[in-house]
Amino acid sequence: MRKRVLFVVLGILVAAQFIQPDRSVPAFDPANDLLLATNAPSDIRQLVIGACYDCHSYQTTYPWYGRLTPLNFIMQDHINEGREVLNFSLWDRYAGGEAAGESGETIQEGEMPPGYYRFMHGHGKLTAAQQQQLITWFNGVSGGEGGPGGESEAEERE
């Protein structure tokens, strides 16, 4: 009897692996990418892609365990939510520099990347120096030339 229950549970787990969330992304213009549009230097590109792009862009790199049900659904949920609040692949949508300023803030406050992500991904762990580098860069995009422009926190601080 016990054995039978075990086989049923195992069977369900195996069958569940064939149920996968929708990972498709809509057509988008690569030219509207944050890093391209701002002509970001390569060290910044690497940091932002490593720490933010899995959830805030259409360029998600899925880890091998990202196919495991039910982890895949939890992961896709975070990604969909991340893309909804901020999508660096659609940077043309964020005029005014606010999104860049906010990005710097969430890094400064240690909110982004999320703790569970830093725990799981080496490339999500930013050193204090890397954090500062990103904060400075995002603040520059938020107020400086080459960014979407508009009101900026950099100006407010002056």
Residue 29: name the closest of 21, 17, 37 by CA.
Answer: 37
Q: By CB under 6 A, tell whether 71 contacts ligand HEC.
A: no
Is 66 or 114 the residue whose CB approaches ligand HEC more closely?
114
Q: By CB under 6 A, tell whether 113 contacts ligand HEC.
A: yes
Alpha carbon distance 59, 73 (integer Å) = 18
Contacts within 8 Å (CB) and 24+ apart, 106-111:
107/131, 107/134, 107/135, 107/138, 108/135
Q: Which stretch binds ligand HEC (CB under 6 A): 8-16, 31-39, 78-86, 149-157?
A: 78-86
Q: By CB under 6 A, tell whether 34 contacts ligand HEC.
A: no
Q: Find where tokens 């910044």 sit.
A: 44
Q: How far is the CB of 122 from ligand HEC (least distance, A)?
A: 13
Is 69 or 106 the residue whose CB approaches ligand HEC more closely?
106
Q: By CB under 6 A, tell whether 97 contacts ligand HEC.
A: no
For residue 41, with 0-12 CB atoms within 10 Å meaning exposed, 13-18 middle and 19 or more buried, which class applies?
exposed
Which residues, other chains included, contact 100 with Cβ-Cβ below 8 Å and sequence gap of 6+?
94, 138, 139, 141, 142, 147, 148
Q: By CB under 6 A, tell whether 81 contacts ligand HEC.
A: yes
Q: How far is the CB of 54 from ligand HEC (least distance, A)?
A: 5
Q: How far is the CB of 148 from ligand HEC (least distance, A)?
A: 14
**Site of interaction with ligand HEC (CB under 6 A):** 51-52, 54-56, 78, 81-82, 85-86, 102-103, 106-107, 112-114, 117, 124
